[in-house]
Chain A
Amino acid sequence: AQKITQTQPGMFVQEKEAVTLDCTYDTSDPSYGLFWYKQPSSGEMIFLIYQGSYDQQNATEGRYSLNFQKARKSANLVISASQLGDSAMYFCAMREGNTGGFKTIFGAGTRLFVKA
Chain B
Amino acid sequence: DGGITQSPKYLFRKEGQNVTLSCEQNLNHDAMYWYRQDPGQGLRLIYYSQIVNDFQKGDIAEGYSVSREKKESFPLTVTSAQKNPTAFYLCASSARREYTEAFFGQGTRLTVV
Chain A residues with a Cβ under 8 A of chain B: 6, 31-33, 35, 43-45, 47, 50, 52-53, 91, 93, 95-98, 101-109, 111
Instruction: Give the complex CA separation of A35 and B104 in angstroms.
Output: 13
Contact check, A104 vs B56: say whether CB atoms are below 8 A apart: no
Instruction: Give the complex CA separation of A10 and B21 in angstroms.
Output: 31
Contact check, A107 vs B98: say whether CB atoms are below 8 A apart: no
Contact check, A43 vs B98: say whether CB atoms are below 8 A apart: no
Instruction: Give the complex CA separation of A97 and B92 in angstroms.
Output: 17
Considering only CB atoms and an 8 Å cut-off, how many residues of chain B contact the other chain? 30
Contact check, A91 vs B43: say whether CB atoms are below 8 A apart: yes
In the complex, chain B residues 66-110 whose Cβ is within 8 Å of any chain A Cβ: 88, 90, 92, 94, 96-104, 106-107, 109
Q: Which of A31, A44, A105 contacts B98 (CB 8 A)?
A: A31
Q: Which residues of B are found within 8 Å of A45, using beta-carbon distances? A: 90, 92, 104
Q: Which residues of A are found within 8 Å of B45, using beta-carbon distances? A: 103-106
Instruction: Give the shortest distance, in Å, between A39 (CB) and chain B (any CB).
Output: 9
In the complex, chain B residues 28-53 whose Cβ is within 8 Å of any chain A Cβ: 31, 33, 35, 40-45, 48, 50
Contact check, B102 vs A104: say whether CB atoms are below 8 A apart: yes
Q: Which of B40, B43, B59, B100: most chain A Cβ within 10 A? A: B43
Q: Which of B43, B56, B90, B103 contacts A103 (CB 8 A)?
A: B56
Q: Which residues of B are found within 8 Å of A32, using beta-carbon distances? A: 98
Instruction: Give the complex CA separation of A56 and B31 in angstroms.
Output: 27
Q: Which residues of B are found within 8 Å of A35, using beta-carbon distances? A: 101-102
Contact check, A44 vs B102: say whether CB atoms are below 8 A apart: no
Q: Which of A47, A105, A108, A111 contacts B101 (CB 8 A)?
A: A47
Contact check, A101 vs B42: say whether CB atoms are below 8 A apart: no
